Amino acid sequence: MKKIFIPIISLLLILLITNCSIDKDPQIRVFNNSTTNVSFKIQTPGETDMMINDVAPGFSTEYHTSLIGNVTATAMVYNQSVSFSTVMNNNYTITFSDTKPLAVVIEQ
């Protein structure tokens, strides 16, 4: 029994340690805190554009993986934009509101 138990515990510890130390790419999502649907164009590093269409009021999108660097998000119909820098291991929520400018919340 000890011959099986010790290797299994050792393997679980190795997996736990390596899984905790893996860097993750930044992720971006959009939260719509307004009263109408909104669409976004998100320009990420490497000249990659993401189009996120028709986010319903009160809803957020899934996270989308981005590269590290400068990001610009534009609410298409409202012509509001916000720029920010992304780093490893952080998630970013871009919040749109009828009454406030675009805001970015960083979640670590």
Residue 93 lies in a domain: yes
Name the one residue in this structure whose structure tokens are 């050792």: 10
DSSP secondary structure of the chain: -HHHHHHHHHHHHHHHHHHHT-----EEEEEEESSS-EEEEEEETTTEEEEEEEEPTT-BPPPEE--SEEEEEEETTTTEEEEEEE-TT-EEEEEEESSS--EEEEE-
* Structural domain harbouring 39: 24-107
CATH for 92:
2.60.40.2890
pTM: 0.77
Residue 96 lies in a domain: yes
pLDDT reported for residue 19:
59
Residue 43 lies in a domain: yes
> 97, 14, 12: which is closest to 60 by C-alpha?
97
Residue 62 lies in a domain: yes
Number of domains in the chain: 1
Name the one residue in this structure whose structure tokens are 């990659």: 48
Give CA–CA dist 13/97, Å, rounded: 45
In tens, the pLDDT along 42-94 reads 998 887 789 999 999 999 999 999 999 999 999 988 889 999 999 999 999 99
Residue 66 lies in a domain: yes
pLDDT above 90 as % of the chain: 57
49 half-sphere exposure, CB direction, 13 A CA radius: 5
Residue 88 lies in a domain: yes
Residue 50 lies in a domain: yes
